[in-house]
Structure 1
Amino acid sequence: MKKLSYLLLLFVFVITTACSEDDSFDEPDPVEETPEEVPEEPEEPTEPEVPEETPEEGDPQTYAFAPGETRGYIVDGSASEETVALFYHLKAISDSRFIIGQQDAFNAFYNSDSGESDMKKLTGSDPGMLGSDFMFITDDSNNGEAGNWFYQQEQQITQDAIEAYDKGMVNAFTWHLREPYEGDDFYTSEMTAFQRENAFRSIMPGGANHDYYREKLQKVAEVVKNLRGSDGTLIPVIFRPFHEFDGDFFWWGAPYSTPAEFKEVWRFTVTYLRDELDVHNILYAFAPDNSYTSKSAYLSRYPGDEYVDILGMDNYGDFSSQSGSGVAAANQKLKVVSDLAKERNKVAALTETGYFVDAQNPLPSNFYSENIYNVITESDVNIGFIMFWQNYADSYTVPVPGVEGEDDFMEFIEKEEALLLEDLPSLYDMPAN
């Protein structure tokens, strides 16, 4: 019924319009906390031209373009047809539904119980989105040889992405890029003071490590341009670089660059991939952590609408409070993102979240069916997707059968708005105008 309801909504639209505990593969746990410093005074954002909308009275549409107009609203005007279709569907879905995803769903399991994804073990369906990471793919130690562990990880990750696409899922990549001096770490707590203070600026055009950064982008481009489904189709991906950049725990964090410097590197990243390396199957996601409570603060490091497709926010901290105030705060922060996405014809998303349940951290009551659900739906919030972080051998963000929260998670995914793989429309086919 969920798929039927979505298709009916899409048909009506066509007729009526003329459209962290951030970690991976046993890396050290990050320090998840909101930075104490107040963000720098933002530059006055340039408001884009927003097409006129003439919805019928009471029409809740969050978008203002027909399928044939979609290409004009994304970063890459030369994007593949499937990439354009994915953006259109994510935007359309966000009007009244949301896709549920999980990081590394095919290879990270609670209790090391491999096989089907943990989400499928519980719900009978894979998630609607698979999260992956370019970290090991771009690692200095990846020499491209069959016996190399990092290259083996590259092969596993790309095969997972192909499997996800073949199933009809969305692929989303983050990037825990190692600092460019030694190539060892991405957490500032594990770096020297010199590395912390200079790493980001060194990858800027003209910087000491700019060529190094170009080489890493070339590796990203090589992988993305060769991601093809079993049918030979180039696979669209969401790319979320420099995530949680408002914190101080990553070397690309706010204390280590000015807003202008951050924007310059972001714009270079997009234009180099798109215009020089001819990568045309990426949607670009802008995703700070949860420190922002106003539009002006959220936009303080925003590189511009022409460089961003998806407006996101990562948020662990507000959920860890286990209180109503944390849920309300998370909802209001996500409303900032949602409102900006509506104004700018972008897709809004809760790009990374979760509560890590283990022996020391019991799950809050009704965490999924009330806390998470209320954050992503109340106050006229509209998002295209929510991404839970991965499960580990000794902790989980998505329950499996027999553990705390299984009934609550089932209640969450059975909400009318929730979309797992089995509920998705054909995301890579554009409907007719």
Structure 2
Amino acid sequence: MKKHLFLFVFVSGIFLSGCSKDEIIEEPVPTPPETGENPEEIPEETPDEALSINFFPSETPAFMVDAGATAETVALFYNLKAISYSKFIVGQQDAFSSFYNNNDGFSDMKKLTGSDPGMLGSDFMFITDDQNNGEANNWFYQQEQLIKEKTIEAYDKGMVNIFCWHLREPYEGDDFYTSEMTAFQKENAFKSILPGGANHDYYKQKLQKVAEFAKGLKGTDGSVIPIIFRPFHEFDKDFFWWGAPYSTPQEFISLWRFTVEYLRDDLGVNNILYAFSPDNSYSTTTSYLQRYPGDEYVDIVGMDNYGDLANQQGANLAAANQKLKVVSDLAEERVKIPGFTETGYFVSSGTTLASNFYSNNLYQVLTDNEINIGFMMFWQNSADSYTVPAPGTDGADDFMDFVEKDKTWLLDDMPDIYDLPEDNNA
């Protein structure tokens, strides 16, 4: 059964915090003086005077990329923002379709903890592949249908859906890693899909496929399913063809803005939150914002970071925390949702996991220095490695300690993320 979201909003003398909607805590009302004199009028607090979340639910669209977003998408934005002040949702990429040792069935997180993750990560890669011809016997189309099925399942359970996009380069349509591309492809792929570029129409066709898929996502309640979309992730590095060495900041910004405007304005997609998620190469707010397309084009500010957590002695944890602090502070300043959009440590037969990697190292990164983060995402498990332990594997007990921490939320902990409360929380 879905629970109602408890939020940090002050209205009419009632303060809702860490309790269910049925456990409202009333703030004490000052006693009027007994002198017979009229007490001074006590001004009603506005949201930003009272609490960290500084807007009412009804005001949410004004802070979003898409002011005409669906009701469920508006609720998702507001609730993720509200959650970030006290909790963070724990998610995993391909949790319903990729398992350690190919042990399918329940998600590996549910096998261990008894609960599914609170977020499901998916990828537009196969959906937009050149070889996806939309026919029932086509492998790529079958993957599209599987992803759609899992996205609907996640929504129906009350989870959040987030999509990355390993878009293949536009000349041959085969690769996304620059290590597998020719020098010409690396130098020209990104520039070619800019407006006026040789492959711009090709890129528009891929966005049309993204739009068709996104608009076709319907839950069993009949609602269009909101998704988080983080295009061009890890763009500050050089291993993807959309990486920083292959475009100027202005070219990157131009394409990001075109992408948003084409999906929202031309193709009428109103169920997307847009996430900006570089990798970990920045260290300051200035460097983080070098390719930032503007507040009007971003709903979520995030960071992907594997490298700073790779050292199992914890040598780089403070650096990782500081980078996440940049994200947290920007989200507060600009009214965005803060997220740790990808992370994890890949445990395999050739690696050694610190005994407290999850409950200490990772949790320290996520919580030190009064960081606010709405969600964090582990990458997928696979046949021979994992970022989320399965039962009986190294780190399983420590992961249980991690998910039992005060701030971590799995699906079973979550309220109804798609319900926007009334301004008065009545």
Q: TM-score, normalised by structure 1?
A: 0.88
Q: Distance in 2 between matches of 1:356 and 1:104?
A: 15
Three-state SS of the structure 2 residue aligned to 1:230 is coil
Correspondence 1:212 to 2:206: no
| Equivalent in the alignment of 2:49 | 55
- Give the % identical residues: 68
1:324 counterpart = 2:327: no
CA deviation profile, 1:45-93 (whole Å, cap 9, x unmatched): xxxxxxx97434xx5x2x2111011011000011000000000000000
Residue 385 of structure 1 corresponds to 375
SS at match of 2:309: helix
Deviation at 1:13, TM superposition (A): 7.1
Residues 12 and 365 from structure 1, CA distance in 2 versus in 1: closer, same or farther, beyond 3 angstroms? farther
- Alpha-carbon distance change, 13 to 390 in structure 1, aligned in 2, over 3 angstroms: farther
After TM superposition, give the deviation of residue 245 of structure 1 in Å: 0.1
Of 256, 272, 276, the match for 1:266: 256
Kindly indicate whether the alpha-carbon contact (under 8 Å) linking 1:14 and 1:66 is maintained by their aligned counterparts in 2: no
Q: Does residue 388 of structure 2 align to residue 398 of structure 1?
A: yes
Give the structure 1 partner of residue 236 of structure 2.
Answer: 246
Task: Give the TM-score normalised by structure 2.
Answer: 0.90
Cα distance in 2 for partners of 1:13, 1:349 equals 28
Alignment match of 1:366 (pick from 338, 356, 359): 356
| Contact residue 91 and residue 377 of structure 2 kept, 8 A | yes
Determine if the alignment matches structure 1 residue 96 to structure 2 residue 81. Answer: no
Q: Give the total of aligned pairs.
A: 393
The offset of 1:321, in angstroms, is 1.7
- The amino acid that maps onto 2:49 is P
- Matching residue of 1:305: 295
Partner residue in 2 for 1:22? none
Post-superposition Cα deviations, 1:272-311, rounded to whole Å, max 9, x if no partner, equal: 0000000000000000000111001000000000000000
> Is the Cα contact below 8 Å between 2:47 and 2:54 reproduced in 1?
yes
* Structure-2 residue corresponding to 1:413: 403
Q: Return the alpha-carbon distance in structure 2 between the equivalents of residues 429 and 368 of structure 1.
A: 31
What secondary structure, in the 3-state scheme, does the structure 2 residue paired with 1:376 have?
helix
Show structure 1 runs of 5+ residues with no match: 18-51
Distance in 1, Cα, partners of 2:388 & 2:415: 23
Structure 2 SS opposite 1:378:
helix
| Equivalent residue for 2:347, pick from 341, 345, 357 | 357
Q: Secondary structure at the match of 2:228?
A: strand
Greater C-alpha Rg? 2
Q: Is the 8 A contact 2:9 2:47 kept in 1?
A: no
CA contact (8 A) 2:102 2:382 kept: yes
Contact 1:200 1:257 in 2 (8 A): yes
Structure 1 residue 323: Cα displacement? 3.0
- Structure 2 partner of 1:255: 245
Question: Aligned AA for 2:422?
Answer: A
Structure 1 pair 16–390 and aligned structure 2 pair: CA distance change class (3 A): same
Q: Distance in 2 between matches of 1:428 and 1:53?
A: 21
SS of the residue corresponding to residue 352 of structure 1 reads strand
Alignment partner, residue 419 of structure 2: 429
1:4-403 superposed matches below 5 A: 7-10=5-8, 54-56=48-50, 59=51, 61=52, 63-403=53-393
Aligned counterparts of 1:349 and 1:375: Cα–Cα separation in 2: 12
Return the alpha-carbon distance in structure 2 between the equivalents of residues 247 and 301 of structure 1. Answer: 12
CA-to-aligned-CA distance 1:230-268 (integer Å, 9 cap, x gap) = 111100000010000000000000000000000000000
Q: Secondary structure at the match of 1:132?
A: strand
User: 1:7 offset after TM fit, Å?
Assistant: 4.3
Q: Which amino acid aligns with 1:197?
A: E
Does structure 2 conserve the Cα–Cα contact (< 8 Å) formed by 1:94 and 1:382? yes
RMSD: 1.7
* Letter of the 2:208 counterpart: Q
